[in-house]
């Protein structure tokens, strides 16, 4: 009887998706001509995010930049993050769980490949990015490089 009651409680309890924080590489969308068509991260158009903030802070006068990329910090539910991780339009650079972990060869390759597909020369990738430290260090080096006009 007790077990049955506990099972009923578990079944009846609402399921809340866990909230996760991550930094994601995306492109700029919009023309900037109106508030409804402001320059904005393309990721914010495609996914339901609880919140996001531009952590690259490129100068507004130079938007969209070349390459057309920026890093944003997002807060979303874990299912949305899983969807973003599977979407080749975006690249998740780290999550709260992974940001201090050493970057793997696979992650370094994924960042290089993503940037190369966006038209970034391999020489620039090799010289500008720190891909032998933590995921957070790689993200910081990438954001710094994207910030320079």
34 binds another protein (CB under 8 A): yes
CB nearer to another protein: give 57 or 109. Answer: 57
Burial class from Cβ neighbours inside 10 Å (0-12, 13-18, 19+) for residue 69 reads: buried
Q: Would you count residue 44 as binding another protein (CB under 8 A)?
A: yes
User: How many residues of this chain interact with another protein, rule: CB under 8 A?
Assistant: 22
Minimum CB distance to another protein, residue 136 (Å) = 17
CB of 71 to another protein, least distance (A): 12
Q: Contact between 32 and another protein (CB under 8 A)? A: yes
Does 53 bind another protein (CB under 8 A)? Our answer is yes
- Report d(CA 52, CA 72) in Å as an integer: 7
Give the span between the Cα atoms of 148 and 101, in whole angstroms. Answer: 27
Answer positive or negative: Cα dihedral of 83, 85, 90, 93: positive
CB 70 within 8 A of CB 30: no
Q: Which residues bind to another protein, rule: CB under 8 A?
A: 30, 32-35, 37-41, 44, 48-54, 57, 60-61, 63
């Amino acid at each position: 009887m007790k077990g049955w009651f506990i099972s009923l409680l578990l079944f009846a309890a609402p399921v809340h998706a866990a909230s996760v924080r991550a930094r994601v590489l995306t492109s700029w969308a919009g023309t900037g001509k109106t508030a409804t068509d402001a320059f904005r991260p393309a990721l914010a158009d495609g996914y339901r995010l609880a919140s996001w903030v531009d952590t690259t802070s490129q100068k507004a006068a130079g938007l969209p930049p070349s390459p057309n990329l920026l890093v944003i910090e997002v807060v979303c539910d874990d299912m949305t993050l899983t969807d973003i991780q599977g979407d080749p339009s975006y690249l998740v650079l780290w999550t709260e769980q992974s940001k201090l972990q050493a970057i793997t060869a696979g992650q370094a390759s994924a960042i290089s490949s993503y940037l190369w597909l966006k038209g970034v020369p391999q020489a620039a990738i090799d010289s500008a990015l720190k891909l032998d430290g933590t995921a957070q260090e790689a993200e910081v080096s990438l954001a710094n490089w994207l910030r320079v006009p």
